[in-house]
Amino acid sequence: MSRAQELLPVTRSEPLVIEGIPKLTDEMRAALDIETRYAPVPGGPNVRLLVYRPKGVIGRLPVLVSVHGGAFCVLSADDFEGADAGIALAHQAVVVAVDYRLAPEFPFPAGIDDCYAALEWTVASAVELGIDLDRLVVTGGSAGGALAAALCLMARDRSGPRIAAQVLMIPVLDDRLDTPSMRQYEQSIGFNGTAAEGMWLHYLGDDRDLAATSPYAAPARAESLAGLPPAVVITHGLDPLRDEGIHYALRLLAAGIEVELHNIPGAYHGAPPLDPAAAQRGQHMFMAALGQALNPA
């Protein structure tokens, strides 16, 4: 058994029941056009996308590129159907959910390559999708937060699509695992520092070189955060990832980027165990941030 598997065993089953993640209901299905689409990925297979659009809405809608969590190595876009559908309906937006390739079978950079291809496909499909590219937002939770933040870095560095805002929910950002919260919650219940180490080993490999980690894998490694989109960063108080999210937000502020930062006391990472009241506060902040980003007027 590899050290990665020892620290964070990867088992997959379909479908998964995830505490705290809403299910796609018949009412949601009736109110949405839901399509499966595919975007070409240079050097790789096409990436699968789930596209949600509210029915009967006239005019161009804001668009959200949504990147799911799951430690880079579990879960899929299908596991978050209810959440993405709920966002599309609540904010009258098109949601493009990226079903990126998973580690360890497909380590970095497969995931971010898929996400960037999805971003480019979304822009190229603007007329067909009926979207307003001035309201193009990216979001991700946990490992999806790492990929969403990396999308912003990659788009800046490649002079790629203009992203209006990034909403990062309990984001993974730093593979060095050297923050007070990472040490404080190394062996805590739920997703802890030990699992975080396993996650990075799955994503970057057991033989990874800590001196050579790409910022497109761990966005905290970026030398400069200048020129990035405005950000909302939401962290949880009992999460080992808490401090890297806060540090990233402070670095964005120092680089002159507009940032809204929330830390939810009493909330765990986002996987069981969950404190219902704390989790609800975090979800409320997340939905409010998305609403402001997608419909700023």
Task: Find the catalytic residue in 142, 181, 202, 243.
Answer: 142
Structural domain boundaries, residue 78:
3-294
Asked about 269 being catalytic, the answer comes back as yes
Q: Average the pLDDT over 235-256 and give the result.
A: 98
Q: Average the pLDDT over 224-228 and give the result.
A: 98
Distance of CA 62 to the CA centre of its chain: 18
The Cα–Cα gap between 288 and 233 comes to 12
Per-residue confidence band for 273, with pLDDT thresholds at 50, 70 and 90:
confident
Buried b (16+ CB within 10 A) or exposed e, 11-43: eeeeeeebeebeebeeebeeebebeebebebee
How many structural domains are present in the chain? 1
Per-residue confidence band for 284, with pLDDT thresholds at 50, 70 and 90:
very high
CB count in 10 Å sphere of residue 135:
20
Pairing of strands 44-54, 32-41: antiparallel
Task: Find the catalytic residue in 99, 113, 174, 239.
Answer: 239
The CATH number covering residue 35 comes to: 3.40.50.1820
Task: Find the catalytic residue in 68, 91, 202, 269.
Answer: 269
Residue 156 has pLDDT above 80, yes or no: yes
Per-residue confidence band for 206, with pLDDT thresholds at 50, 70 and 90:
confident
Calculate what percentage of the chain has a pLDDT beyond 70: 97
Run of H or E including 249 = helix 242-254
Per-residue model confidence (pLDDT) at position 13: 64
Q: Average the pLDDT over 168-179 and give the result.
A: 98
Per-residue model confidence (pLDDT) at position 16: 58
Asked about 142 being catalytic, the answer comes back as yes
Residue 190 has pLDDT above 80, yes or no: yes
